[in-house]
Structure 1
Amino acid sequence: MNNQIILWAMLAGPFLTLFLMKQDDIRRYMPVGLFAAVASAIIGDVGITLGFWVHRETAYPLHSLMPFDIGLNTVITLWIFKFTYQRFWVYLVTNAILDLGFAFLLFQYYFPSINMLNLVGISPFQTFLIALILAVVLYGYQMWQERIFRESERTAFSPGLQPAAAKPLSKRQENKPDEE
């Protein structure tokens, strides 16, 4: 199969599965999915700079950005959080299993066999550790996001808050004539 088809399928294909997810879940977990995409892209760029891996082929016109980071990684992050969030150990075990598969099957065997990406200065186990550390950071980020939204909902819809024009005047201000 043509590498460009595989790369574009990894970029666009996973987003089709989001039609199966509720919109509330997409809204809830999209910030962590986007954060995963940005963090993976940064890690990928640092890995290229440090000589950890070499991209032999990427999706045109993306030069040094793997479609895996933008498409597949983002959507998998959304699905993992949908099913495992608020159960940290289930989340961590699920991520560890997937990261082992990606590090040892995709990065060590499949991508080099189709001449797409080669690990050069790093072992598959080290890529697994990087991915696992990223998973813990993503979980912390989602906890932070949840806390922010909880606090903003609590203050935004507080029944005690009223616009200044709707507040009753004090007794002193009630009896004063308007001065112009």
Structure 2
Amino acid sequence: MNQIILWSLLILPYASLFLLNMDTVRRYMPVALFMTAIHTLAYQAAYHYGWWNEADSSLFGWDKVVPVPWVYGAYLVIVIWVFHFTFRKFWLYLTVNILLGVLFMYIVYPIWQRIGIVSSESTLPTIAIVAMMVGFSLIIYLYQLWQGEVFKKANTNS
């Protein structure tokens, strides 16, 4: 059952992108990939420092450090959807990210722990992980602002 859930987390979110205009997907894919890179580094640090262990969410055997279904599947697509609905509305964006972080860490993650998708081992308080997630969301918001300016300048120079 866990493998079905993990495969669903990897594949199904991408199907939701067909509901968006492909220009929207292209516009926000760079920021989603940037967030994926940040998350990959965070999971590497967590593994190295023993903050948490996600080996139970492995699909391939080689993904013991970074949970591929979550980081490269669901989370990447969630970033695109959040930016689609909230970009250029900073306080809404921040509120949505705080709510999603709290929802994930206090409701979804404990459910995943109970069914064995993720381990219950963590040396960081849950609120610290939520704060980390919100911090990442601020970094990528600034990145998207910069990215938008870069594309705007490139279009005016063409």
Q: When the two structures are superposed, what TM-score results if normalisation uses the length of structure 1? A: 0.82
Determine helix, strand or coil for the equivalent of 2:66: coil
Q: Choose 53-62 or 94-103, whichever is displaced more.
A: 53-62
Residue 39 of structure 1 aligns with which residue? 38
The CA deviation string for residues 143-168 of structure 1, in whole angstroms up to 9 with x for no partner, is: 01000001111111xxxxxxxxxxxx
Determine helix, strand or coil for the equivalent of 1:133: helix
Residue 94 of structure 2 aligns with which residue? 92
| Rounded Cα–Cα distance in structure 1 between residues aligned with 2:15 and 2:89 | 26
Contact 2:25/2:80 (8 A) holds in 1: yes
Residue 102 of structure 1 aligns with which residue? 104
Bigger-Rg structure (1/2): 1
Contact 1:56/1:118 (8 A) holds in 2: no
Contact 2:55/2:64 (8 A) holds in 1: no
Residue 24 of structure 2 aligns with which residue? 25
One-letter amino acid of the structure 1 residue matched with residue 17 of structure 2: L
Residue 139 of structure 1 aligns with which residue? 141
4+ aligned runs moved over 6 Å, structure 1: none
Determine helix, strand or coil for the equivalent of 2:120: strand
| Aligned-pair Cα RMSD in Å | 1.2
One-letter amino acid of the structure 1 residue matched with residue 114 of structure 2: S
Runs (5+) with no aligned partner, structure 2: none
The CA deviation string for residues 71-98 of structure 1, in whole angstroms up to 9 with x for no partner, is: 1111000000001100100000011101
| Rounded Cα–Cα distance in structure 1 between residues aligned with 2:122 and 2:21 | 41
One-letter amino acid of the structure 2 residue matched with residue 26 of structure 1: V
One-letter amino acid of the structure 2 residue matched with residue 137 of structure 1: I
Please report how far the alpha carbon of residue 36 of structure 1 lies from its aligned counterpart in structure 2 after TM superposition: 1.1
- The structure 1 residue matched to 2:75, chosen from 55, 73, 76, is 73
Please report how far the alpha carbon of residue 114 of structure 1 lies from its aligned counterpart in structure 2 after TM superposition: 1.9
Determine helix, strand or coil for the equivalent of 2:23: helix
Cα distance 1:79–1:5, how it changes in 2: closer, same or farther (>3 A)? same
The CA deviation string for residues 56-80 of structure 1, in whole angstroms up to 9 with x for no partner, is: 4111242322121111111000000
Q: Which has the higher contact order (CA 8 A, sep 6+)?
A: 2
Please report how far the alpha carbon of residue 126 of structure 1 lies from its aligned counterpart in structure 2 after TM superposition: 0.7
Percentage identity across aligned positions? 29
Runs (5+) with no aligned partner, structure 1: 157-180
Contact 1:18/1:75 (8 A) holds in 2: yes
Please report how far the alpha carbon of residue 103 of structure 1 lies from its aligned counterpart in structure 2 after TM superposition: 1.2
Residue 132 of structure 2 aligns with which residue? 130
Q: When the two structures are superposed, what TM-score results if normalisation uses the length of structure 2? A: 0.93
- How many residue pairs align between the two structures? 154
Query: Do structure 1's residue 111 and structure 2's residue 98 form an aligned pair?
Result: no
| Rounded Cα–Cα distance in structure 1 between residues aligned with 2:104 and 2:25 | 24
Q: Which has the higher helix share?
A: 2
